[in-house]
Chains A and B, each alone.
Chain A
Amino acid sequence: MASERAAPTQQAEAVADTGLIGKVRRILWGGGKTTEVRPVEQRKTLAWRQANGRDADEAQFLGEIRRMLERTPSLQASRVNIIGLKRVKERFGDSWQRVADRADRIARNVIERHMELGDIYAGWGLDTYIVVFARLSEQEARVKCYLIGNEVVRTLLGDEASEYLEVKTAVTRVDGSVDLQAVGSMDRLFAGAEVIGPLAPPSEPVPPPTPDPVDTIGAELGLSYVPIERDRPAAPVVPESDGVRANLLVGIDFVFRPMWDPTRNVIATYRCIPQVRLSDLDGAVGDASLAVAGDAEAMARLDSAVIARIKADLKAMAVDGRRLIIAMPIHFETLCSTAQRRRVTQEIGAIPEAMKQYLVIEVVAVPSGVLKSRLMDVIAPLRLHCRAVSLQVAIGTIDFSQIRGTGVSAVGADISHLAKSEFIVMQQLSRFQRAAEKAEVVTFLHGAQSRSLVAAAVGAGFHYVDGDAVAATLARPERIVPFQLADLYVQR
C-alpha cells in the first residue's frame, strides 16, 4: 500500500515542480494550434468519436493534452481525467445556448468544491473539463471524477441523468498520440477503490453499530423501530395516475434525501424530492424542478403525484414495520386555490390515520411577504392530517413575525442552487436562525453541499440539515440511522 501511495505523491510533486497549473491554463486558454491526431484502431476508446465523429476541436483538444504530457514527462497520461458534458449539451439541444454559461458555472463550482491542495483542473469550451488529482491513485481519481461528473449532470438534468455523463482517461499510444478511454460503469469503478474522500457514492446509510441507540432515539421521537432486512424489496412505487402526465410533464421520478437532526444525532426524516422531466429541458434541474414545474395546473398535478407516492410509502411502512418521518413537499400556490386546497386535503386525508403521525407536510415556494392570514388559510386544513407543517422559503425573504400562531412548526430553506460565496451564505444562515429562534420555530436547511456549510448550519443552530455533504439521496425512505457530527468526516 505504501508504494501505491508513493506514486501519486511523486506525481503531485512533479505537477508542482513544473508549474503545471500555469501551463494548463496557457495551453487551454491560449488558443493553441490544431494538432493532427492519427486515427486509432482500438475499439474500446472514445465514445465521443463513436457518437459524433472526431471534429477539429477534439483533435486540437487531444493534441493539447499530448503537448501537456510531453512538457511534463513525470505526469502520466493515465492520471489525466476528462469530464465531458457533450451528451448533456446534446440533451439540451437548442436550449444549450441559453444554459451553457450557467452549466459551466455549475460544473466549475462542483469541481472546485472537491479540489484538494495540489489538484488542478481546466475547462475546454463550456462542456469539457480536464482534472488531475495530485494525491489520489489512478483508480481513486477515476472514481472521484465520475462522482464529480455525476454531481454536475444530476444538478443539470436531475438524479436519473447519469447516462449523459462521460468520464474519460487519457491514454498514450505507442505512436505517441493521445486518445481518451471511457472509464467503466460505476460498479466497475468502485470495485477496488478504497478511498474516495468526501465524495461518497450514493449508498445505503451506514448501518447502526448497535440497535440500542436507535431504539432510544426512536422512542424519543415517538417512533417504534423495527429493523428491516437489507434485501427486502423496495416499497411498491405507485404508478402515476393518468392525469399526472400532463403535457408539460413527460415524467416524474422520486428520490428521498436523509435529513440529519444534529441535536439528537440521528437521521429519522426523509425528504421526498420529485424529479421532473419537462418536454422543454429548461429548468429540469433536480431539486429546483419543484419550483419550475410549469404552470399552476402542472404544479397541482405534480403535487398529486407526490401525495400518491408518499401515501404508498406510508402504507409500505405500515406493512414492513419501518417507523420514519417523511417530509412531503406541496406547492404553496396549489394550496392558495380553494378548490385545489380542498382536493389536496382530501388526497392527504385518504392516508391511513395511523400513518399520518409520520408525515410532515413541507409547503414549498412560499412567496416573500406572505401574510399571516394567508398562511393560516393554507396551513389550517393540513394540520389535521399530519405530524407537522413546515415552510420552505427563500432565505432572507421571510418575515418571521407573520409565522407565529399560524400552526407552522418549522421553517427552512434550500441553498443547493444559491450562487453565492459560502461566506455570504453562512452569514445569511446565522441571521435566518436568529430570527427563527425569536419566532420559536424549528429550522431546517436543504442542500448543504459542503462540510463547511453543514458545520455552519449546525453551529448556527439549525435543527435539521441535509445535502450531499451529509448523505446522498436514496430511492426510498430507509430507516432510522444514528448519525453524529464525526460521521461527517468519515471517509465513505
Chain B
Amino acid sequence: MQVLVIDDDVAVRQTIALLLEDAGIEVVQAADGKEGLRAFQRARPDLIVTDIIMPEKEGIQTIIDIRKQDPNLPIIAISGGGRIGNTDFLEIAARLGASTTLPKPFDPEVLVDLVRKLAGAGKKA
C-alpha cells in the first residue's frame, strides 16, 4: 500500500510519514498541492492525506483536481488552527471530494486506522 502525504509543514509531513511507515505503509511526500498533483500522477498512490492551507495550490483545489482524474481514490483532508475554525475548510473539502476529514491535532492511531480502512475499501467512505 502506498500513501501520498501532502503538507507544507515539513514537521507534520514527516511525522505522518513516520507514523505510516511504522505501520508498514509506503509513503510518498509532497510539500504543496502542485507538487502533490505531480506526485499523484507519477506514483498513483492508493490513498492521499492532504493538508488544506498550503502555498501554490491549497488542499481543496488539490482534491478537486485529483477527483477529476480519479473519482474513487480515498482522500483524507486534514487541517487545524484558524480563528474562524478550520472546520469550515474541512466541511468544504468533504463536500468537494474528500473521502473523510480529520481535524488537527489527531490521534495517530486514528489516522493509521482510517488509512487502512479507506485504502482497503478503495472507495469513498
8 Å CB contact of A455 from B37, B81, B83, B89: B89
Judge whether B53 and A459 touch: CB under 8 Å: yes
Check if A106 is an interface residue, CB within 8 A of chain B.
no
Give chain A residues whose Cβ lies under 8 Å from the Cβ of B41.
Answer: 117
Count A-side interface residues using an 8 Å CB cutoff. Answer: 23
Measured CB to CB, the closest approach of chain B to A279, in angstroms, equals: 39
Interface residue? A379 (CB, 8 A): no
A-B CB pair tally, cutoff 8 Å: 66
Judge if A489 is at the interface, Cβ distance under 8 Å.
Answer: yes
Q: Taking the complex as formed, is B65 at the interface, i.e. its CB lies under 8 A from any CB of chain A?
A: yes
> How many Å lie between the Cα of A341 and that of B88 in the bound state?
44
CB-defined contacts of A422 to chain B, threshold 8 Å: 55-56
Bound-state Cα–Cα, A116 to B33, Å: 11
Report the Cα distance A263→B85, complex, angstroms.
Answer: 10
Q: Contact flags (1/0) for A426-467 with B, using CB distance below 8 Å?
A: 100000010001000000000000111001101111000000
B58 touches A423 (CB 8 A): no
When distances are taken between beta carbons in the complex, the residues of chain A under 8 Å from B79 are 459
| B43 CB contacts on chain A under 8 angstroms | none
Q: A485 contacts B56, CB within 8 Å? A: no
Interface residues of B in 51-93 (CB under 8 A from A): 52-58, 60-61, 64-65, 79, 81-84, 86, 88-89, 92
Interface membership of A1, Cβ < 8 A: no
In the complex formed, the residue of A with least CB distance to B61 is A451
Within 8 Å by CB of B58, from A117, A433, A437, A455, lies A455
Q: Mark B11-42, 1 if CB is under 8 A from A, else 0.
A: 00000000000000000000011000110010
Interface centre among B60, B79, B95 (most CB of A within 10 A): B60
Docked Cα-Cα span, A86 to B38, in Å, equals 34
Which positions in A face B, CB cutoff 8 Å?
116-117, 262-263, 421-423, 425-426, 433, 437, 450-452, 455-456, 458-461, 485-486, 489
Taken together as a complex, chains A and B put the C-alpha atoms of A345 and B116 apart, in Å, by: 66
- Nearest Cβ distance between residue B60 and chain A, in whole angstroms? 6
Q: For this complex, into which size category does the number of interface residues on chain B fall?
A: 20 to 34
Of B56, B89, B92, B96, which contacts A459 at CB under 8 A?
B89
The 7 residue pairs across chains A and B that have the minimum distance between CB atoms:
A461-B83, A422-B55, A452-B58, A459-B82, A423-B55, A459-B53, A455-B58
The answer to whether B38 touches A117 (Cβ under 8 A) is: yes
Whether B55 contacts A452 by the Cβ 8 Å rule is yes
11 A-B contacts, Cβ less than 8 Å apart? A423-B32, A425-B55, A433-B83, A437-B83, A451-B61, A455-B52, A455-B60, A456-B55, A459-B52, A461-B82, A485-B92
B46 at the interface (CB under 8 A from A): no
Q: Is B7 in contact with chain A by the CB < 8 A criterion?
A: no
The answer on a CB contact under 8 Å between B56 and A489 is no
Contact A459 B54 (CB under 8 A): no
Is there contact, CB below 8 Å, between B88 and A485? yes
A425 to B41, CA, bound (A): 28
Taking the closest CB of chain A, its distance from the CB of B24, in whole angstroms, is 30
Contact present for B65 and A452 (CB under 8 Å): no
Q: Which residues in A have their C-beta under 8 angstroms from that of B86?
A: 459
Contact A455 B53 (CB under 8 A): yes
Known contacts A451-B61, A455-B60, then 10 further A-B pairs from the complex at CB < 8 Å, ordered by chain A residue: A117-B38, A423-B32, A426-B53, A452-B32, A452-B33, A458-B84, A460-B82, A460-B83, A486-B92, A486-B96
Question: In the complex, which of the residues B8, B37, B88, B95 contacts A423, with contact meaning CB atoms closer than 8 Å?
Answer: B8
Contact A489 to B53, CB < 8 A, known contacts A117-B38, A117-B41, A117-B65: no
Q: How far is the CA of A489 from the CA of B91 in the complex (A)?
A: 13
Q: Which of B77-121 contact A (CB under 8 A)?
A: 79, 81-84, 86, 88-89, 92, 95-96
Known A-B contacts A452-B33, A458-B84, A459-B82; A485 and B58 likewise in contact (beta carbons under 8 Å): no
Rounded to whole angstroms, the CA-CA distance of A449 and B40 in the bound complex is 25
Complex Cα spacing A426 to B37, Å = 21
- CA–CA, A458 to B60, complex, Å? 14
**Is A486 a contact of B95 with CB atoms below 8 Å?**
yes
Query: How distant is the Cα of A485 from the Cα of B81 in the complex, in angstroms?
Result: 16
A485 to B25, CA, bound (A): 34
